[in-house]
């Protein structure tokens, strides 16, 4: 199984994919601009951020971050900010359990990640 990850900057209601890659399910997804980042993001400012720890199967959230994830059939949905999840008693870091993820890292910067079926191509067509 592979994990397709894309990073999107949103500004003035226009979204632009600025980085994308395919990871093995046990790989860590670290955003940044240079080592130790595993996904280099154009115009990144600040230290690298661990978003997905494939080695432990968790999404790592920090204050101000938000996650929306579910299985492909819509089940096992989890939505909330870091603060909301803590208040609801959800353990952080959050177990992934092979769910698709939309993670807002900071205003204007989101990560989209989805596990691919074995027969699915790494990157789809423009109409996907």
> Is 0.95 topped by the overall pTM?
no
> Distance between alpha carbon 89 and the CA centroid of its chain, in Å?
21
Phi and psi (nearest 5°) for 32?
170, -160
pLDDT confidence tier of residue 12, bands split at 50, 70 and 90: confident
Structural domain spans, the chain = 2-116
For the cut 80, the answer to whether the pLDDT of residue 35 exceeds it is: yes
Quote the pLDDT of residue 124.
Answer: 59
pLDDT in tens, 51-98: 999 989 999 999 999 999 998 788 889 999 999 999 999 999 999 887
Average pLDDT for 40-58: 92
75 token code pair: 């089940």
Number of H helices and number of E strands within the chain? Answer: 1, 11
Compute the distance between CA of residue 16 and CA of residue 94 in angstroms, rounded to an integer. 27
For the cut 80, the answer to whether the pLDDT of residue 126 exceeds it is: no
Torsion of CA 65, 71, 76, 82, to 10 degrees: 0
């Amino acid at each position: 199984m592979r994990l397709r990850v894309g990073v999107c900057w949103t500004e003035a209601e226009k979204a632009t994919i600025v980085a994308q890659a395919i990871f093995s399910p046990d790989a860590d997804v670290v955003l940044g601009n240079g080592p130790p980042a595993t996904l280099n993001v154009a115009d990144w400012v600040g230290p690298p951020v661990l978003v997905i720890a494939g080695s432990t199967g968790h999404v790592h959230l920090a204050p101000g971050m938000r996650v929306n994830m579910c299985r492909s059939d819509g089940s096992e949905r989890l939505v909330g900010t870091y603060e909301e999840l803590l208040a609801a008693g959800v353990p952080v870091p959050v177990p992934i359990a092979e769910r698709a993820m939309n993670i807002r890292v900071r205003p204007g910067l989101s990560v989209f990640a989805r596990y691919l079926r074995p027969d699915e191509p790494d990157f789809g067509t423009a109409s996907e």
